[in-house]
Amino acid sequence: MTTTYQYGANVHAGGIRQHYLRYALNSGGGKAAGQPLVLIPGITSPAITWGFVAERLGRQFDTYVLDVRGRGLSSTGPELAYDTDTCADDVIAFIDALGLKNVILAGHSMGARFALRAMSRGARNVEKLVLIDPPVSGPGRREYPSKLPWYVDSIRDCTRGAGIDTMRQYCPTWSDDQLRLRAEWLHTCFEPAIVQTFEEFHTVDIHQDFPQVSVPTLLMCAGKGGVIQDEDKEEFRGLLPSIRITTAAQAGHMIPWDDFEGFFAAFEDFLGPTL
């Protein structure tokens, strides 16, 4: 099948260089077809690692996958801030800089937290919000089930130079192609940024942001991920009664890696077109 990949590019937004990948079908005249969809990946997932998902999304949507600061080809380094509010503001600035309208804003894990915080901090031109298995840890709450050394050790391995056999120790169920891509790109994740993000999973509570969301919102949970439990779903319904909650029953936290078709099925009809 013809690829939906259009190009990779950079935009100056939020005071930094933000790199992104664009996937879409052409509608003629060099224009991309479909409603804009902005996807914010997780804590150690450069944009390119979501390419296999964006290829499918690009059949229906004008899809933009962002390299969050400190990851991939976006600005990085010790001089930058990596806190939740700053990264959420990057999302707002990205949408504004590209002049996107009627956006579907989607995020996975860390990216879902940033997307949600962006909404509470005044993101404009967002029509729908998709939160994919966001960490719900925070002050006084249970810990996030993954542990920091899993991230830090794998980054250090890739910084020294690692292949798929090394990556398989961390992600034993992934395909060789997925492991090869992770081995190639994980070194671009700036370790202090990753550490701060992980720490803020536990020190920053996103629950306060839900009541401030005024657009249709989908929460997609991983049935085998252990991140979102039944009591969390009930709390979310109390905070945002209109929220729609679905589950990819056969998947762990990395939903499309674990169950590719189940991931798209879990959107149900929320986005309109069948994925």
Q: What tokens were used for 33?
A: 């077809």
| Distance, CA of 271 to CA of 102 (rounded, Å) | 12
Do the beta carbons of residue 135 and residue 144 sit within 8 Å? yes
Q: What tokens were used for 6?
A: 């259009």
Half-sphere exposure of 151 (CA within 13 A, CB side): 20
**Terminal-to-terminal C-alpha distance of the chain:** 15
Burial class, 201, CB count within 10 angstroms (exposed 0-12 / middle 13-18 / buried 19+): buried
Do the beta carbons of residue 163 and residue 140 sit within 8 Å? no
Largest Cα–Cα distance of the chain, in whole Å? 54
Burial class, 69, CB count within 10 angstroms (exposed 0-12 / middle 13-18 / buried 19+): buried
φ/ψ region of 109 (left if φ > 0, alpha if ψ in -120 to 50, else beta) reads left
Token pair 């939906």: residue: 4
Q: How high is the pLDDT of residue 159?
A: 97
- Determine the 3-state secondary structure of 12 from DSSP: strand
Q: How high is the pLDDT of residue 1?
A: 63
Residue ranges for the chain with pLDDT beneath 50: none
Do the beta carbons of residue 127 and residue 104 sit within 8 Å? yes
Domain boundaries, the chain: 5-142+205-265
Do the beta carbons of residue 188 and residue 70 sit within 8 Å? no
CATH fold of 5-142+205-265 reads Rossmann fold (3.40.50)
Do the beta carbons of residue 65 and residue 50 sit within 8 Å? yes
* Per-residue pLDDT reduced to its tens digit, 222-267: 999 999 999 999 999 999 999 999 999 999 999 999 999 999 999 9
Do the beta carbons of residue 72 and residue 47 sit within 8 Å? yes
The torsion angles phi and psi of 18, rounded to 5 degrees, stand at -110, 120
